[in-house]
Amino acid sequence: MSNLPQTATELLSGLESRKFSSVDVTQAYLDRIRAVDERVGAFLRIDEERGLKQAADVDARRAQKKSVGRLAGLPVAVKDVVCDKDQLTTCASRMLANFRPPYDATVVAKLKDADAILIGRTNMDEFAMGGSTENSAFQLTHNPWDLERTPGGSSGGAAACVAAGMAPLSIGTDTGGSIRQPAGLCGVVGMKPTYGRVSRYGLVAFASSLDQVGPLTQTVEDAALLMTTIAGHDPRDSTSLSLPAPDFTATVNQPIKGLRIGWAREHFAEGLDPEVETSVRAALKVYESLGAKIEEISLPHGRYAVAVYYVIAPSEASSNLARYDGVHFGYRTDEPAMLAELAAERKRLEAARDQPALDALDTALVRMYRRTRAEGFSGQKSNAASCLARTP
């Protein structure tokens, strides 16, 4: 890695001029993952064989002067909540531990069309519900700057792998801060795109009206490169914006003189950490020094945002996760063992002539639901997934 550029834009320039090959770049990042990820825990799975095969194919086409995609030869990590055909997509949950999607998410299809090298799947809070990446069913992810601290979440693995130099580009998802917060904690660039700008087709849903796929990168220029690749209308997503996506790389380096930036006075209220306020105000001064116009604005209804979020997000999560019940999708408990346990419980209650307990005893179907969810989900998700089932 020491002999290669650190940003995706610089790497792409070197690949296009053939200063180094895609195999060289991919192998360097795989070596970096082997060297540090045992301590960081950013990746759930690495796909070395597929990655090197894709890289060799890109190199061969470049050598033959054939057309290659926008990201040709660049390694990209993908959060394990975005479907990749025939590849494990677990959402960091035992419920989907063996799930292999029969199709690509639109974002993954766009990355493949752009000749990106898909090197691995990153850890996350289970079903993207969490803010620390401590709620994965499989492992913890640590902040590469301080292994005793959280990388944030739910896209903690996606942010940590970029911060630790294990991938130049990474795909995360954001419902209520799950790209932006880990980007902040790991010191990388992260952006939640406008809803509808990037297709949600093939994104395993948490809260459908809030979820968005977005970039995590080393620089803003790299974020523009990745956004240009994944943005655009998708007829398979009914919430996809029916407008052409611009080339974000064409304007990202333009001067910002005359740009209007609003800051909401309600966001600088009691409870804001003084260090955070100082940093934000310092950033506003930098923008002002570069010619931007800074304006104070008011968002009087912003105080209701958190309360509204915690009505919408759990409601939609309950609906989306209700399908993981042992019948429709995902893990199913050991049914013979469950039935034997239920029969033994019934026999014991009959012997004790405990009619109230017998009347309250689960049916086989209800017990299967309970056991499946208890074993397949963590407690937080099990409760959310069960809410809908309890509603008359």
Catalytic residue among 154, 155, 170, 386: 154
Catalytic residue among 79, 110, 192, 381: 79
- Alpha carbon distance 198, 245 (integer Å): 9
Tokens of 382: 């099990």
- Alpha carbon distance 246, 240 (integer Å): 15
Count of CB atoms within 10 A of residue 194's CB? 11
Annotated active-site residue 132? The verdict is no
Tokens of 274: 């003084």
Annotated active-site residue 318? The verdict is no
**Residue the block writes with tokens 């346990």:** 341
- Alpha carbon distance 158, 190 (integer Å): 10
List C-alpha distances in Å: 363 to 342, 353, 358, 366. Answer: 9, 18, 10, 5
Buried b (16+ CB within 10 A) or exposed e, 86-100: ebbbbbbbbbbeebe
136: which residues sit within 8 A by CB, 6+ positions away? 44, 92, 123, 124, 125, 126
Catalytic residue among 21, 93, 170, 178: 178
- Alpha carbon distance 61, 50 (integer Å): 17
Provide the Cα torsion 213, 216, 221, 226; round to 10°: -40
Helices 22-40 and 8-16, interaxial angle, to 10°? 150
Annotated active-site residue 17? The verdict is no
Hey, which residues are catalytic here? 79, 154, 178
